[in-house]
Structure 1
Amino acid sequence: MFTTADYEKFRALRMTNVAARFEELITDEANDELTPEQVFLTAVDDALDQRRANRIDKLIQGAQFPIPKASIAEIDYREGRGINPNRMRRYAAHDWSAETANLLITSPTGGGKTYIACAIGVAACHNEHQVIYTRMDELARKLIIARGDGIAHQALLTKLSEADLLVIDDFLTVGIDPEAANDLFAILANREHRAATMIAAQTSPGYWAQTLPDRVAADSIVNRLANNARTINLGEVDMRRHRGEKARASAGYWE
């Protein structure tokens, strides 16, 4: 068994998880036939797996997904949604750092855009990409607040510019002011060819160009988002209504 002094040494070497797992393994009679080297390497592998799991949990928490348990495996692929399991598995395994094409997800309200955006984002975290999720109205509000402090404002722009994957949900569901549009242009210009942006919206790029307050900035923003972007059009299926009907049909439901 290891002593307190031993653990101090392990902490100095940043090996406490390896040591703790090694101690568990050598006290387990099921491992009596393994050599010391085999037990030690198993402890190292287990510690590395735990470290990676902790890192993934931290990435998911840091992304601030509204549905942090969203999963590609749980997506409803019913007819009319414009998606299939093979395509979604590709997004789950996608290397967002190596290939920076944007992704546009569109459907009317209730189509399940947020769940799919979160599922793809969570999968990106599992691939150890840094992801930031935000609704467009929240982003505009944060930019307005940060604008009063030049350092905070620049720090926010830098953070949004450098994430491996930036997810903007409810894109232009409500309008934004010219200064927020200018900030959005700066973020997208910084990300172009360097990092991918995912947009979930009820509307199309044509509508965005008409809604943004400045025509020149609007053309630049829409061009950067939509040019060569991949698209998922979820069609007219109302998943919110479907979930409500499913809940009402379940045992124990009451109103």
Structure 2
Amino acid sequence: MFTSDDYEKFRALRVTHVATRFEELINDESYDQLTPERLFLTAVDDALDARRANRIEKLIRQAGFPIPTASIAEIDYREGRGINPNRMKRYASHDWKTEPTNLLISSPTGGGKTYLICAIGIAACEREHEVLYMRMDDLARKLVIARGDGIAHQDLLAKLANADLLIIDDFLTVGIDPNAASDLFAILADREHRLPTMIASQTGPDYWAQALPDRVAADSIVNRLANNARTIKLGEVDMRRQRSQEARQTGGFWE
């Protein structure tokens, strides 16, 4: 129906997807009863849906989640975990840019923190927020390395400061270099009251204040994270052990 010259025009107008979908609908007999106007509007809606799906897929990929299939719908709400479906639904539909409140998630090792923050982060991507996931030790290493190149260092700081939602996992599980701590202060100061940060840690603010190398910077970092934050304290259920035990009970498990 459309010629190659037609598609060149569509590309110039950036409506190639609409034209392709419109042609598919015209050739589909199940849509014969629709008017040309309705066919065209359906093609536009379908193209917009496809564009949005591609953007969400790209946002999830670029975020760097270690569990890119995590889902709010698949969270385990068994007794003792300290979370409930209603609260998670609120996080799934939360507009992080409109309400830049931090989220602090804590639990002992194996409590399922990483899955939870990935699920919440992916839900944010599905609402078309730009999310950036970093594990604390990897973040500290990148900051130290970037200091060797002034432009790269500023680019990294800007990227961390301007993500719609910044997620830092395993926060202060290991020590941090004073220079990296200084950079972390600059990032959080830039994000304060502007963009939210999500923290997952085995410890809490009292420990962070002691673990950070510079007391003044430590107080500022902890203050910025904790004083404008919601908290989730996961229970004592060791989800890593639970998953391992459940896997051993499946028919295909072998050792």
Q: TM-score, with normalisation over the residues of structure 2?
A: 0.99
Describe how 1:107-126 pairs up with structure 2 within 5 A. 107-126=107-126
Give the distance between the partners of 1:228 and 1:4, measured in 2 at CA: 56
Give the distance between the partners of 1:240 and 1:48, measured in 2 at CA: 40
Describe how 1:1-255 pairs up with structure 2 within 5 A. 1-255=1-255
How far the C-alpha of 1:235 sits from its partner, in A, is 1.2
Q: What whole-Å deviation, never above 9, does each CA across 1:69-119 have from its counterpart, x for those lacking one? A: 100000000011110000000000000000011000000000000000000
**What SS does the corresponding residue of 1:133 show, helix, strand or coil?**
strand
Q: CA RMSD in A?
A: 0.5
**What SS does the corresponding residue of 1:168 show, helix, strand or coil?**
strand
How far the C-alpha of 1:156 sits from its partner, in A, is 0.4
Letter in 2 for 1:32: D
Q: TM-score, with normalisation over the residues of structure 1?
A: 0.99
**What SS does the corresponding residue of 1:251 show, helix, strand or coil?**
coil
Q: What whole-Å deviation, never above 9, does each CA across 1:121-168 have from its counterpart, x for those lacking one? A: 000000000000000000000001100001110110011000110000
Give the distance between the partners of 2:47 and 2:251, measured in 1 at CA: 43
How far the C-alpha of 1:228 sits from its partner, in A, is 2.8
Give the distance between the partners of 1:40 and 1:101, measured in 2 at CA: 42
The 4+ residue runs of structure 1 with deviation greater than 3 A are: none
**What SS does the corresponding residue of 2:80 show, helix, strand or coil?**
coil
Give the distance between the partners of 2:204 and 2:33, measured in 1 at CA: 64
Q: Indicate the percent of aligned positions where both proteins have the same amino acid.
A: 78
Q: Which runs of 5+ in 2 are unaligned?
A: none
**What SS does the corresponding residue of 1:123 show, helix, strand or coil?**
helix
Give the distance between the partners of 2:147 and 2:75, measured in 1 at CA: 39
Give the distance between the partners of 1:129 and 1:158, measured in 2 at CA: 17
- Give the total of aligned pairs: 255
Give the distance between the partners of 2:28 and 2:100, measured in 1 at CA: 47
Give the distance between the partners of 1:29 and 1:162, measured in 2 at CA: 48
How far the C-alpha of 1:252 sits from its partner, in A, is 1.5
Letter in 1 for 2:96: W
Letter in 2 for 1:58: K
